[in-house]
Amino acid sequence: MNTTRIRVVQISDPHLFADSGSALMGVNTSETLDEVLAKIQNDYQEPDCLLVTGDLTQDDSEASYHRLKEKLLKIHAPSYWLQGNHDQPHLMEAVNPSAMQKQIILGNWQIVLLNSQVEGETHGYLSETELKLLDTCLKKDPDKHTLLALHHHPAPINSRWMDRIMLKNPDDLARVITPHDNVRGIIHGHVHQARKYQFCDLPVMATPSTCVQFVPESDDFQADTKQPGFRVLDLLPDGQIETSVARVSDLPMTCQ
Ligand SMILES: [Fe+2]
């Protein structure tokens, strides 16, 4: 049995452009991603893997995905990507096929990455194909602790506008998870904020964006003054997850 912890770094929602000068709501997403990656490099030298949980780029260009791939080379760890509502899956696959694995095995853990994108929509949905894949991974490796990753939030987070665009079929996800006893936690992006809550009696962890943040528990869209950040997850041999969120600075950030 593996006796060492597995360190996973999750970044989410970089919303990168092909043009390094472009901004999202006044925030240069290339610069903020660089700041996040510099902090990861400095504080967490060699994680076992880097997960990028959707909304990788903003302008639907192949060049934007190439820029992301190039930037992530600064981190000495394999990176794995999953699709958010803003993404172009065929470009992700074309630019970085090795990042598009659905199941990552690390010691006595597996990470399953699900695609919750609905083409042309902002909300999420897990197709039968994705649900079947998850079921197969859970059945095939019943002794592996499992971390599940997707873009959309599977349960309401008490934010009216955000909860309209959550995963639309959480009951289907629950139906697949419940018969198995090897799922230990769920991580997602999409909500541009740090949050911890429960779904199917499992810990669910939302992770800040590497660019603009959203105000938690807000009825309507509101940009937050919190800084870009990322999540670190230590997967322990006994199935426990130790996790924390780090931000590039404690100072308030201004958006437009
Ligand atoms: Fe996003």
Please check whether residue 101 lies inside any domain of the structure.
Answer: yes
162 C-alpha to ligand 1 centroid (Å): 11
Helical axes 170-177 vs 128-140, angle rounded to 10° = 20
92 C-alpha to ligand 1 centroid (Å): 16
Gap between the Cα atoms of 28 and 82, Å rounded = 22
CATH, residue 64: 3.60.21.10
Please check whether residue 196 lies inside any domain of the structure.
Answer: yes
131 C-alpha to ligand 1 centroid (Å): 23
Please check whether residue 255 lies inside any domain of the structure.
Answer: no
The answer to whether 41 and 226 have CB atoms below 8 angstroms apart is no
Please check whether residue 115 lies inside any domain of the structure.
Answer: yes
The CA-CA-CA angle for residues 189, 136, 145, to 5°, reads 60
67 C-alpha to ligand 1 centroid (Å): 17
Please check whether residue 216 lies inside any domain of the structure.
Answer: yes
170 C-alpha to ligand 1 centroid (Å): 20
Phi, psi (5° rounding) for residue 166? -80, -175
Phi, psi (5° rounding) for residue 30? -70, -45
Tell me, what's the pLDDT at 45? 81
**H helices present in the chain, as ranges:** 29-43, 62-72, 89-95, 128-140, 160-163, 170-177
101 C-alpha to ligand 1 centroid (Å): 21
189 C-alpha to ligand 1 centroid (Å): 7
The answer to whether 89 and 114 have CB atoms below 8 angstroms apart is no
- The count of other CB atoms within 10 Å of the CB of residue 66 is 16
Residue 9, both tokens = 């770094």
The number of distinct structural domains making up the chain is 1
178 C-alpha to ligand 1 centroid (Å): 28
The answer to whether 150 and 126 have CB atoms below 8 angstroms apart is yes
Please check whether residue 1 lies inside any domain of the structure.
Answer: no
Helix/strand number for the chain, H first, E second: 6, 15
Please check whether residue 120 lies inside any domain of the structure.
Answer: yes
14 C-alpha to ligand 1 centroid (Å): 7
**Contacting residues for 151 by C-beta, under 8 A, at least 6 apart:** 53, 54, 55, 82, 83, 84, 85, 116, 117, 124, 188, 189, 190
Tell me, what's the pLDDT at 189? 98
**Contacting residues for 8 by C-beta, under 8 A, at least 6 apart:** 47, 48, 49, 50, 51, 106, 111, 147, 232, 233, 234, 235
206 C-alpha to ligand 1 centroid (Å): 12
45 C-alpha to ligand 1 centroid (Å): 26
**H helices present in 96-249, as ranges:** 128-140, 160-163, 170-177
Question: What is the extent of the structural domain holding 39?
Answer: 6-247
Gap between the Cα atoms of 1 and 221, Å rounded = 47
Please check whether residue 108 lies inside any domain of the structure.
Answer: yes
Tell me, what's the pLDDT at 3? 63
255 C-alpha to ligand 1 centroid (Å): 15
213 C-alpha to ligand 1 centroid (Å): 9
Tell me, what's the pLDDT at 73? 96
Tell me, what's the pLDDT at 2? 47
11 C-alpha to ligand 1 centroid (Å): 11
Mean pLDDT by 10 residues, the chain (256 residues): 82 97 95 97 94 97 98 96 97 98 97 97 98 98 96 98 98 98 98 98 98 97 96 98 96 82
> How many Å is the Cα radius of gyration of the chain?
17
54 C-alpha to ligand 1 centroid (Å): 7
